[in-house]
Structure 1
């Protein structure tokens, strides 16, 4: 709430600051193409207020197309990773607690802005019960070369089931600057985030949802495992990226990037649960702290016709620690903190000229922790929206920290491991043209790390990290095609996945599909654009990973399959000037189901029928 008040306080100040710059307000009705957002790779996107089917897909808490992700019953709580090809892999070891990081904003989620007049972007959407979802952003250029952006995203929803509240806040302050001669560029941001979830551990007895007892139609009456547990992920990050080019044209460029981040994951349970095993106390309080400092310095030679050659060195230092007295630890051999420093050197070549784009990156560790990344791609652009691209990557990465090191008040969740690097080899071909959009990916995984419940039953969770020493081959193919006839359109996206492995370690659905039939027409003398239709989401039955709240991770299970059920959503959307209005009836077919047979994991039911509405509103002053 305090961060939201800061945003509201800054709005009039930033607006006033830009009003004083007469060079930017000569025309209040600037062309929409002049309002742009871009990332650090300088990929620029014009801000668009049109209403397309892609806007319908992006109208969610993540603010992006979530095909391949399957949301849990409560908004912004958890997401199944149906599409393994979209799973992020980082060269350097991460904090862990990965299930909780799906809504956490990383460096590559932050975009910068350039606007001729103040831009306001508002997102609002209702939730399951008692709350709302909001994302508000204000961006101003106080000068043509200096931008300030403040934003705050939040959600509160108690959900349908007992002890399943989600309450999150994400504050962003973003700025970008370039010198008048365009030799010096600076991008900086501060992001403060807190993600709180009540953790109910899933339902105890699935037969309560078989439709025979109507009292359980009130989902808060369904028995759940944990009545008084919750988790919290909180972090603050300070980021800076800047460069200086000595001359225009062919020239040397100095580059520097750094960030500092401190965060923690906390699991609190007022009454210990026998499901998780023996505990030190009747109440459990696990708090894992993490600090990381990253520095990267580079020098590149940039030419107009031959591209850019870069060399860099970086330093990645982190410390993960607990504040637990010695006499209260289960395993005295596990240290209070786990720290490391990794240094790498690398070279990079980028070429972007006319219709061709090439990229080559080679990076190796020079510290005592071996790690490496080699990647390359070649892209040919037929025009701005049509291309073909071939890419390859070979990655050897250190394990994330939760696999290596963990302390807990629960005896079963203490470990100190020594695992080998995970290795991945990826070959990918993709294309986008006027007929269809498609890609094919082939991956080989070695020394894959995963969590597994050693008890192999749902009412007892002794989840431990393991390393699979055999190779895993993963194949994926995806195609998307939209067919239009007059005001009607059918948008289709289908994905096929196949895993070759000796044991069921990596489990994914074989088929994922999304099909939308919709109608678009301008009404009320073309004052409003109306869009209405129905969307089918489906994935085939598979052994979905289950979730263990105490470490905020998904784990492999091979007991119960979920999936093989359709989810129909009916929507009516409209655009009036710069305002887009959304109304959706979610999971309509749940109204006609005699029992709940739709699950995310073996004991986490997917959401029931809901009607939700909201809007996106842009102001261009």
Structure 2
């Protein structure tokens, strides 16, 4: 927290000095027109650049949520700030290095690739506000400034607090981020850096105990706080701090063919803890009268590379990286004979060597990445991607990945005060072959995803009973084939439009390990017009969301993981949202009646077994951009 305040103070100080300089020079400078919106640039480490967009489109409606991105394929839980069940298996990703785990806590956790960098001609701020389910609000406040044309700072904080409708379902989280970008005037040296401090806390009730009370929803159970839940005093927390630097130096000043030296540094500390004052029989026997589990994780990463960049033949880079991590507890677990059954730590050092080649042509961008471990771990990664733009109406993308990755660390080691939740495993590496093809045309946007999974890791309840959870990590020894097609099309007529997204999924496997809904669809019909002498743009319509019944993964709050179950199906219920949105200058206002059909179509809607989906609720909010 001290580091956060220090960075905030530094940013405000620089901002103040820059403003003083501007004020002193105001009388000397001629009055200028407002800068073009295209000068407000947002980019990633991969140099994917977009301009600030203050328009009101249907995509803005889809992104008006806590994640600030289109969440098609994700099914939210009842309270804002809880986790999501994944309907689209194609959204799951693997990494070469072993990650921390506890995946259900990471939907709202900003990773390195989620951080954006900025270049703006004048100070820019962005304010997001949205009401929540009960007693709280969701807020994301952002400010960025270029103190010089080649030096940018940004500071932002996203916070949410929502009591929720159900017993013991409070959510409270904060995501602080600070970024800086710099380049020399000759652009030979380029720097992007950021700091994040994040904490994500959820009260966990384990779901409702009696689904029949919810599905009838007569008094008093139409008041959701009257429904009995499994846990009344359980809480889990994910917290992490990260320092990140990515910089490069070009050896030649004027020659377009030149050597470039690159370096990337990432230092991150995380911990996950689970607290429960009253022991629950649902998790089995325990070593103590109250539960306090804490898993800690330190990660230090360095990557050094040298690239040869050419004007006509593309860029070739070779790199070596060093990944050091320590995943640990403050105790060990002994067996009945006094021998160590579960150790307290996993720590390792992994070194990779690899290379990338990027080729640029008039309408084609192609990239190949190859990396392999030179230490004892047998991990490797091959990625190929090609983008071909025929013209403004036709764009094609091909991607291939072959990955041999280490298991997430909580699959390998976990400790708890609950007896059944202690393990130390030696799983095989997971293997992935993946093909992706996308065609974006003026007629239709199509995407195809095919995954071949070997030695797939997952969690499973050994008791096969939702009232008794003995969830353990497992490894599937056979091959899983996953296939998906997704189609998007917006049809416009006069001031009306119909926006459609349909996902089809199929899995070929000898056991039901990867369970997915066969069809997921979102269809929005809406009307757009300008009113009040064209001073305001309005957009109103209805969104229909639906997915077919399937054995959805259930949620275990002790592990903050979803686990495979094949006893209870969810799905097959329509979700209708009515919205009225408006735009005045750079302000966009959103009003939505969410799931307004909940009382008409029956109370059989769930986000996971025993976890009801959201009831009808009216929420509003805004996104407001300020320009200097």
Q: TM-score range by the shorter chain?
A: over 0.9
Are 1:572 and 2:577 counterparts?
Answer: no
Q: 2:18 aligns to what?
A: 18
Task: Find the aligned partners of 1:504 and 1:11 in 2 and give their Cα distance.
Answer: 52
Change (3 A) 1:385 1:619: farther
Q: 1:615 aligns to what?
A: 622
Q: Is the 8 A contact 1:204 1:603 kept in 2?
A: yes
Q: Is the 8 A contact 2:333 2:341 kept in 1?
A: no
Task: Using the TM superposition, give the Cα deviation of residue 591 of structure 1 relative to its aligned residue in structure 2, in angstroms.
Answer: 3.0
Task: Find the aligned partners of 1:181 and 1:62 in 2 and give their Cα distance.
Answer: 37
Q: 1:57 aligns to what?
A: 62
Match for residue 384 of structure 2 among 357, 360, 376: 376
Match for residue 549 of structure 1 among 554, 557, 573: 557
Match for residue 103 of structure 2 among 98, 106, 110: 98
Task: Find the aligned partners of 1:526 and 1:6 in 2 and give their Cα distance.
Answer: 45
Task: Find the aligned partners of 1:10 and 1:572 in 2 and give their Cα distance.
Answer: 41
Q: CA RMSD in A?
A: 1.9
Helix, strand or coil at the partner of 1:583: strand
Helix, strand or coil at the partner of 2:514: coil
Task: Find the aligned partners of 1:348 and 1:450 in 2 and give their Cα distance.
Answer: 32
Helix, strand or coil at the partner of 2:381: strand
Q: 2:267 aligns to what?
A: 260
Change (3 A) 1:314 1:13: same
TM-score, normalised via structure 2 length? 0.96
Q: Name structure 1 gaps, 5 residues minimum.
A: none
Q: 2:458 aligns to what?
A: 450
Task: Using the TM superposition, give the Cα deviation of residue 353 of structure 1 relative to its aligned residue in structure 2, in angstroms.
Answer: 2.6
Q: 1:177 aligns to what?
A: 182
Match for residue 424 of structure 2 among 409, 416, 426: 416
Task: Find the aligned partners of 2:374 and 2:10 in 1 and give their Cα distance.
Answer: 45
Q: Is the 8 A contact 1:331 1:414 kept in 2?
A: no
Are 1:536 and 2:536 counterparts?
Answer: no
Match for residue 157 of structure 2 among 147, 152, 158: 152
Helix, strand or coil at the partner of 1:215: coil
Task: Find the aligned partners of 1:70 and 1:201 in 2 and give their Cα distance.
Answer: 17
Are 1:29 and 2:34 counterparts?
Answer: yes
Task: Find the aligned partners of 1:485 and 1:292 in 2 and give their Cα distance.
Answer: 53
Q: Is the 8 A contact 1:344 1:366 kept in 2?
A: yes
Q: 1:272 aligns to what?
A: 279
Q: 1:389 aligns to what?
A: 397
TM-score, normalised via structure 1 length? 0.97
Task: Using the TM superposition, give the Cα deviation of residue 433 of structure 1 relative to its aligned residue in structure 2, in angstroms.
Answer: 1.8
Q: Is the 8 A contact 1:7 1:151 kept in 2?
A: no
Q: 1:400 aligns to what?
A: 408
Helix, strand or coil at the partner of 1:155: strand
Change (3 A) 1:437 1:18: farther
Task: Find the aligned partners of 1:237 and 1:392 in 2 and give their Cα distance.
Answer: 30
Matches within 5 A, 1:349-498: 349-383=357-391, 386-498=394-506
Match for residue 76 of structure 1 among 78, 81, 90: 81
Q: Is the 8 A contact 2:152 2:182 kept in 1?
A: yes
Change (3 A) 1:305 1:572: same
Task: Find the aligned partners of 1:450 and 1:275 in 2 and give their Cα distance.
Answer: 21
Change (3 A) 1:478 1:223: same
Task: Find the aligned partners of 2:485 and 2:334 in 1 and give their Cα distance.
Answer: 54
Helix, strand or coil at the partner of 2:505: strand
Match for residue 282 of structure 1 among 289, 295, 320: 289
Task: Using the TM superposition, give the Cα deviation of residue 8 of structure 1 relative to its aligned residue in structure 2, in angstroms.
Answer: 7.8
Q: Is the 8 A contact 1:18 1:140 kept in 2?
A: no
Are 1:189 and 2:197 counterparts?
Answer: no
Task: Using the TM superposition, give the Cα deviation of residue 326 of structure 1 relative to its aligned residue in structure 2, in angstroms.
Answer: 6.5
Task: Find the aligned partners of 2:578 and 2:435 in 1 and give their Cα distance.
Answer: 38
Q: Is the 8 A contact 2:334 2:342 kept in 1?
A: no
Q: Is the 8 A contact 2:332 2:340 kept in 1?
A: no
Q: Is the 8 A contact 1:3 1:152 kept in 2?
A: no
Match for residue 308 of structure 1 among 311, 315, 323: 315
Runs of 4+ in structure 1 displaced over 3 angstroms?
Answer: 1-15, 20-28, 325-331, 383-386
Q: Deviations over 1:388-425 (max 9, x none)?
A: 01111111100000110011101111000001110011
Are 1:522 and 2:530 counterparts?
Answer: yes
Task: Find the aligned partners of 1:102 and 1:230 in 2 and give their Cα distance.
Answer: 17
Helix, strand or coil at the partner of 1:202: coil
Helix, strand or coil at the partner of 1:514: strand
Helix, strand or coil at the partner of 2:506: strand
Task: Using the TM superposition, give the Cα deviation of residue 31 of structure 1 relative to its aligned residue in structure 2, in angstroms.
Answer: 0.8
Task: Find the aligned partners of 1:468 and 1:212 in 2 and give their Cα distance.
Answer: 40
Helix, strand or coil at the partner of 1:608: coil
Q: Deviations over 1:307-331 (max 9, x none)?
A: 1000000011110111237789998
Helix, strand or coil at the partner of 1:210: helix
Q: Deviations over 1:546-574 (max 9, x none)?
A: 01111110000000110011100000000
Q: 1:321 aligns to what?
A: 328
Task: Find the aligned partners of 1:423 and 1:335 in 2 and give their Cα distance.
Answer: 27
Q: 2:590 aligns to what?
A: 582
Helix, strand or coil at the partner of 2:178: strand
Task: Using the TM superposition, give the Cα deviation of residue 385 of structure 1 relative to its aligned residue in structure 2, in angstroms.
Answer: 6.7
Q: 1:291 aligns to what?
A: 298
Are 1:504 and 2:519 counterparts?
Answer: no
Deviates more, 1:601-610 or 1:211-220: 211-220
Q: Deviations over 1:418-440 (max 9, x none)?
A: 01110011111101121121111
Task: Find the aligned partners of 2:333 and 2:62 in 1 and give their Cα distance.
Answer: 51
Number of aligned residues: 620
Task: Using the TM superposition, give the Cα deviation of residue 122 of structure 1 relative to its aligned residue in structure 2, in angstroms.
Answer: 0.3
